[in-house]
Amino acid sequence: MTMLQEAFRPDEVAAPGAQGRARAALLERIHPGPRVRGLRWPIRVGLAAAIATAAVVSVVVIENVGTVGEQGSVDAPPFGQAAAAAEFLENAAVAASRKSWTAPRPDQFMYKESHVLRNDKELETREPNGPLVPGRTRVVVEQDWKRIDAQVWGRMDGGKLVVERQGERVSWGQVPYADLAKLTTPDKVLAWDKAPKNFGVTLDALPGQYVLPPEVEAAFFRALAQREGMRMNPEAVNIDGRPAVGLGITLEGYLSQELLFDKETYALIGERLVAIADHTNVGNDGTSYSRKGDLFRQVVYTNSLIVGKVGDTK
């Protein structure tokens, strides 16, 4: 033992800055920076009506990056009490409010990136509204850039960056950033939610669709905590290697629409839509059956930040 110790002395000392970088990485893990991406709107026709308000803002499905492991069927959530949901959302609000932040300029962009779990193309074509099938899924990467002043929207399409300008080929709705920046309390958020708007946008979707100032994101979480029917599923799912807690509401009595939070850091890390009861859908074009535990949508938010120009990812 002594030989081994002596022969390989002296101890290596970390290079200048190495410890600092490692510490910064740890602190980032302890208090994650903005990495939110919220509920986009359901892409399945059968669920669209149930989940109501459709987004006008950009939803871009871009690139197939391959298959994923078995992530399909999940246990139906044993819902916790509402008080637990409120407590968790309060913790999420505190965590959000600690993020560092510099108010963006009008010419900067909100960059959003997420990994969406979808059935393979053959299955998706055959049954577009069906649940995700274990072993038949793939991950689709979504990337988009929305300029703060709502005049430019970029997206990756088949590996190519496509940039649109407001009113040229397309038009899109985007909540004015100045309006969002004012929503610094839950009361303001709830009032904003009730106010008539030119296009549909739901309260729980917004923190995921926009890169919000920390105090606004915190206010959104606190507003969600006041929402009637908000429930916590403490054993929601493990995504991206992290245990997640789902908080959400029940739709149509059998679907749970949830935001997923990191169980330990309280960071918003994804979303999902899962059946919490068996259900039969009688439709004009046929009858379909959902089983308790069927997973209809799962998204992992992988990046969310302010960038200088369209196409930037950091």
Partner 1 sequence: METDAELIRQACGSPERFAMVFDRHYQHIYAYAARRLGRDLAEDVASETFLVAFDRRAGYDAARQDARPWLYGIASNLIARHGRAESRRYKALATLGTDLAQDDFVVPVVGRVDAIAVRGRLAAALARLPRPVRDVLLLVAWAGLNQQEAAAALDIPHGTARSRLHRARQEMRKALGADMEGYE
What are the residues binding partner 1 (CB under 8 A)?
1-9, 11-15, 18-19, 21-23, 25-27, 29-31, 242, 264-265
CA distance 94 to 215: 9
Write down the least CB distance from residue 118 to partner 1, Å. Answer: 27
Q: Which is nearer to partner 1, 138 or 263 (CB)?
A: 263
Torsional sign, CA 227, 36, 177, 53: negative
Q: Which is nearer to partner 1, 8 or 289 (CB)?
A: 8
Write down the least CB distance from residue 241 to partner 1, Å. Answer: 8
22: phi then psi, degrees, rounded to nearest 5: -65, -40
Closest C-alpha among 304, 307, 288 to residue 33? 304
Q: Which is nearer to partner 1, 5 or 287 (CB)?
A: 5
Q: Which is nearer to partner 1, 47 or 218 (CB)?
A: 218
Q: Which is nearer to partner 1, 95 or 305 (CB)?
A: 95
Distance of CA 184 to the CA centre of its chain: 21
> CB of 251 within 8 A of CB of 50?
yes
Residue with tokens 């969600």: 224
Query: Residue 268 is encoded by which pair of tokens?
Result: 């918003």
Q: Which is nearer to partner 1, 25 or 49 (CB)?
A: 25
Torsional sign, CA 262, 267, 268, 270: negative
Residue type, 154: G
CB neighbourhood size of 96 (10 A)? 27
Write down the least CB distance from residue 32 to partner 1, Å. Answer: 10
Write down the least CB distance from residue 8 to partner 1, Å. Answer: 5
Write down the least CB distance from residue 19 to partner 1, Å. Answer: 6
Q: Which is nearer to partner 1, 136 or 242 (CB)?
A: 242
Q: What DSSP line would sit under 194-241, residue for residue? A: HS--SS---TTTHHHHS---HHHHHHHHHHHHTSTT-EEEEEEEEETT
CA distance 154 to 309: 10
Residue type, 121: K
Write down the least CB distance from residue 223 to partner 1, Å. Answer: 24
Write down the least CB distance from residue 5 to partner 1, Å. Answer: 6
